[in-house]
C-alpha cells in the first residue's frame, strides 16, 4: 500500500489516541540518559535527550521505573514510517496511564530516521505512555506552529544508538487488522522490559 504524507498524518492522528543506527539530530542535544528496550526481537539502545525534552524524558523514565512497559506490545507498525508501542498489554488491553504531558515538539529536534517521539491524540498535549520510533525521515511530523494539533507536531525525545537492526526487524513483520486497529503485527512483538543502566 502506498501512503501519502496526508494519509500517514491522518492515520497517525486517528490511531494514536487509542492509546503513538539513526542519524543524530543536528541540534546540540545537551544532557542525555541511556535506556535499553529488551524486546522479543532483541535489544534497542536509546539515548534520551534530557536537556531538550525534560518532561518527555522524565515521563518515559517514570513509566519504565514503574514497570508499565513490561509485557507491552509494539501494536502498530507501518514500513517506511514508524513502529509504535507502550500502551497495550499482551491481551491487547489498553493499560492505565498517568496524566498527559505538555507537548515539547518546540524543542527544535526533528522526526528523523531512528529518533524516538511521543505518540498522542489530535490534542497536542495528550501524550501519556505511548511512543514511536521513526523508521524514515518524517518531516511532516515536526513542529511548525501552535495553530492546531497538526502544526504542533510530535515531540522527539531520544534516538536509537544501537539496535536499529532490531527496529527494522519489527518494521518488517507481517501486519493485520485487529478491529478497530490497523497495522497490528500478526504475531505479537513485545517490549519485555526497559532497563535503565545505573538505577
Grid coordinates representing 192 are: 519485555
- The pLDDT-based confidence of 199 (bands split at 50, 70, 90) is confident
Residue 59 has pLDDT above 80, yes or no: yes
How far is 48 from 98, CA to CA, in rounded Å? 20
Non-local CB neighbours of 66 within 8 Å, separated by 6+ positions: none
Q: Which of 12-16, 132-136, 146-150 has the lowest mean pLDDT?
A: 12-16
CATH at residue 111: 2.40.100.10
Domain that holds residue 113: 5-195
| pLDDT, tens digit (0-9, with 9 covering 90-100), for 180-197 | 899 999 999 999 999 999
The percentage of the chain sitting over the pLDDT mark of 70, rounded to a whole number, equals: 85
Non-local CB neighbours of 171 within 8 Å, separated by 6+ positions: 77, 79, 80, 83, 135
- Burial (CB count <10 Å: 0-12, 13-18, 19+), residue 141: buried
Per the structure, how many domains does the chain have? 1
Amino acid at each position: 500500500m502506498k501512503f501519502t504524507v496526508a494519509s500517514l498524518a491522518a492515520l497517525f492522528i486517528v490511531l494514536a489516541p487509542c492509546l503513538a543506527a539513526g542519524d543524530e539530530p543536528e541540534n546540540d542535544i545537551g544532557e542525555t540518559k541511556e535506556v535499553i528496550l529488551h524486546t522479543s526481537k532483541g535489544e534497542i539502545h536509546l539515548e534520551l535527550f534530557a536537556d531538550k525534552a525534560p518532561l518527555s524524558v522524565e515521563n518515559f523514565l517514570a513509566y519504565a521505573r514503574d514497570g508499565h512497559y513490561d509485557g507491552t506490545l509494539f501494536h502498530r507498525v507501518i514500513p517506511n514510517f514508524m513502529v509504535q508501542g507502550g500502551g497495550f498489554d499482551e491481551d491487547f488491553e489498553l493499560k492505565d496511564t498517568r496524566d498527559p504531558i505538555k507537548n515539547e515538539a518546540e524543542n527544535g529536534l526533528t522526526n528523523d530516521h531512528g529518533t524516538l517521539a511521543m505518540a498522542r491524540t489530535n490534542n497536542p498535549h495528550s501524550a501519556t505512555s505511548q511512543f514511536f520510533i521513526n523508521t524514515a525521515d518524517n518531516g511532516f511530523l515536526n513542529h511548525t506552529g501552535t495553530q492546531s494539533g497538526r502544526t504542533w507536531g510530535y515531540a522527539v525525545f531520544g534516538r536509537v544508538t544501537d539496535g536499529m537492526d532490531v527496529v527494522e526487524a519489527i518494521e518488517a513483520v507481517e501486519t493485520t487488522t485487529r478491529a478497530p486497529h490497523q497495522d497490528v503485527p500478526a504475531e505479537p512483538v513485545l517490549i519485555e522490559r526497559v532497563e535503565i543502566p545505573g538505577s
